[in-house]
Amino acid sequence: MTPTQKGYAPNLTVFKKSLKAASVETSIENLISLLKRRQIKNSRPCAMATAELLRIVVARDRWTDLGKLIAHIQDVGRRLVEAQPRELAVGNIVRRVLGMIRDEGNEDRKNEGSDSGSATGSPQLEFSIPAPTTTKRPPSSSLRFASTDGVHFTEDRPTTRPPLMTSHTSYAVANNVPVQQSMFNLLSATGSPNLTPSGANSPHGDSTPHPFALSEKMINSTKDLRAEVVNGIEEILDELEQVDDQIAAYALEHIHSNEVILTHSSSVTVYKFLLKAADKRKFTVIIAESYPNDHEETHLAVMGKMKDPESEEEDKETYLKSLQAAGITVILVTDASIFAIMSRVNKVILATHAVIANGGLVAAAGARIIARAAKAHRTPVIVLSGVYKLSPEHPFEFESLIEYGDPGSIVGYEDGTLVEKMEVDNPLYDYVPPDLVDLYITNLGSHAPSYLYRIVADHYKPEDVNFNNPELLF
């Protein structure tokens, strides 16, 4: 029996291939229709497709200055988000690319400034120490950057280039200044564009320039910048490739021997996390089947047929190692059994579709009752999520994030006309409020839900948060 070809790999791969030949505009249209028709779905494929597309846009489009590039990316991003507003990862990637372009502009400008500046370095340096995120690179990177004016566009990227927001680094360094200044906005001479429509006279410092102001300078170095931005996007793509393995690296910190772990549906992230822990420890995993939308995949997963998303071959199915082969005892239960079995569960591990800045998350339907039942039993709930799923958008109505599936998978044709006579609901996602989550594990480390706002702020520039929502841009 061959599993149904439901995976995203073929369509994503096809899309990637098509990028080589098609024009930029065709590619944009192509992705929009793929998103609309849900042929590319789920956070990671959507994020990857978006990043791939933006790389092409940056590399091939004619742009002369960063301001125009930002405007163009915003425009493309808006169209993509509109095509599938519930795939928050699309918007997240667009925002990160926008932020990166802005950083390139700022850093370029700063470099020139620091030629004449004092040896004490930029203020960013001071703030890089309290930077709250785990930076795998030494904090001196910004120092190195500050002292390598102009020569950073070399081939040897990792050592001479300033860190972009990849899995290793974040905006923390660049972003602490706005945070710290926001209370000073009231008194500051520069002020934020929000608060001072009339420019105040400024006795010191200079204000953040509008991107368009950069244009003249940019013309000379467009080529270098193009390479820089493309490199940055490639780092995002690298992050997307590695994110599950990076999260899995924390597994042994959280799973001890003989634990009983409850999870649901079929998430590669959770799966890899468990596999990693199984290298060293023996434990039991209870999997709720998440009927009716993901049970087929869940059943395949417990039967050792979890598809490996990294596999490039389209024709051949490659599977991840099964949990059982790794020594884990797997117990499949129905969704209804969750409350009953929770008294034996040590930890609940959930995957997400998207994470929201308030610490809440959107996950496969059923996640909320699992989290609630865990709360009722005082069982800790751990959520695994790559930072690319962290969205800065603040939903004012959580129901708007929920996508509904085909009622036919609940009441099928074999029940005759029953489905027409009554209202049948089949939500694909649940919103899980932050008070039901005890811990988030991202590729940057483990965080309390109350701290997520910071991780989110580190990854997106405030001016990009609402790029797709002009009425919130002010």
Partner 1 sequence: MPSTDSPSAVETSQPEVAAPLAQTQPNGKGKQPEGAQQSSANTEKSKSNSNGKPAGNAQETSSTKKLTPAELKKKAKEEKAARRAQTVAAKEAESAPAAPELSPAGPSTVPQPAGGTSGSQQRGDGQKGSRTQQRTGGPVGNSRNLPFRGSQKVAAATAAPVVPKKEDKTVEFFRHLYRQRTTSIADASKEVHPAVLALGLQMGNYTICGSCARLVAMLQAFKSVIEAYTTPPGNSLTRHLTSHVLSPQIDYLASCRPISISMGNAIRWLKLEISKVDVDTPEAEAKKDLCGAIDVFLQERVTYADKLIAKKAAGKIKDGDVIMTYAKSSVVQRTLLRAFSKGKRFKVIVVDSRPLHEGKHLAAALVNLGMDVQYCLLNGLVHVIQNVTKVLLGAHAMMSNGRLFARVGTAIVAMEANEADKPVIVLCETIKFTERVALDSIVHNEIAPADELVTPGGPLTNWEDMKKLQICNMMYDVTPAEYLHMIVTESGNVPPTAVPVLHRMGNESG
Partner 2 sequence: MDSVGNVPPKTLTGTFDIVETYHRILEDDPEITMPVAAIEALVELLAQTDAVTVYETLDLIQTQSAFLKMNIPNSIPLQAGTELFQQYILSCLKPSKTSSGNFEAVRQHLVSNGRLFVHRAKNARDMIARHGQNYIRDGNIVLTHGGSRVVGALLRKAADVKRAGGNVRFKVIYVVKDQRSIECRTVIDSLRAKGIPVAEIDEGTVAYAMRKVDMVIVGAEGVVENGGIISRLGTFQIAQLAMAAKKPFYVAVETHKFVREFILSQDDMESDIDQKIIRFEPDYVEDPTPKTPIRNAVDFTPPKYIAALITENGPNVVAAVSEQLIFLYSV
Options 89-97, 98-106, 147-155, 185-193: segment touching partner 2 (CB under 8 A): 185-193
204 touches partner 2 (CB under 8 A): yes
By the 10 Å C-beta count (0-12 exposed, 13-18 middle, 19+ buried), 239 is classed as buried
Q: How far is the CB of 279 from partner 1 (least distance, A)?
A: 16
Binder of partner 2 out of 77, 211, 359, 386 (CB under 8 A): 359
Instruction: Point out which residues bind partner 1 (CB under 8 A).
Output: 1, 3, 284, 286, 289-293, 295-296, 299-300, 302-305, 322, 324-325, 327-341, 343-344, 365-366, 368-369, 372-373, 376, 399, 402, 410-411, 414-416, 418, 421-427, 430
Interatomic CA distance for residues 132 and 361, integer angstroms? 22
| Distances from the Cα of 238 to the Cα of 41, 49, 157, 242, angstroms | 19, 13, 14, 6
Closer of 214 and 365 to partner 1 (Cβ): 365
Which residues on neighbouring strands pair with residue 287, listed in sequence order? 263, 332
Instruction: State whether residue 228 is helix, strand or coil.
Output: helix
Exposure class string for 287-298: b at 16+ Cβ within 10 A, else e? bbbbbbbbbbbb
The CB density around residue 190, as the number of other CB atoms within 10 Å, is 18
Binder of partner 2 out of 107, 465, 467, 468 (CB under 8 A): 465
Q: How far is the CB of 180 from partner 2 (least distance, A)?
A: 4
Q: How far is the CB of 300 from partner 1 (least distance, A)?
A: 5
138 touches partner 2 (CB under 8 A): no
Interatomic CA distance for residues 205 and 197, integer angstroms? 18
What DSSP string runs through 154-220? SS-HHHHSPP-SSSS--THHHHHHHHHHHTGGGT-SS--TTT-SSPPP-SSS-PPPPGGGGHHHHHH
| Alpha-carbon torsion angle 404, 410, 413, 416, nearest 10 | -110
185 touches partner 2 (CB under 8 A): yes
304 touches partner 2 (CB under 8 A): no
Options 120-128, 229-237, 279-287, 378-386: segment touching partner 2 (CB under 8 A): 120-128
Task: Specify whether the CB–CB gap between 88 and 354 falls below 8 A.
Answer: yes
194 touches partner 2 (CB under 8 A): yes
Binder of partner 2 out of 111, 176, 265, 379 (CB under 8 A): 176
183 touches partner 2 (CB under 8 A): yes
Per-residue mark of binding to partner 2, 421-450 (x: CB under 8 A): -----------------------------x
Counted residue by residue, the chain has a size of 474
The residues binding partner 2 (CB under 8 A) are 113, 117, 120, 122-123, 126, 130, 176, 179-180, 182-191, 194-197, 200-206, 357-359, 394, 396-397, 450-451, 453-454, 462, 465, 472, 474
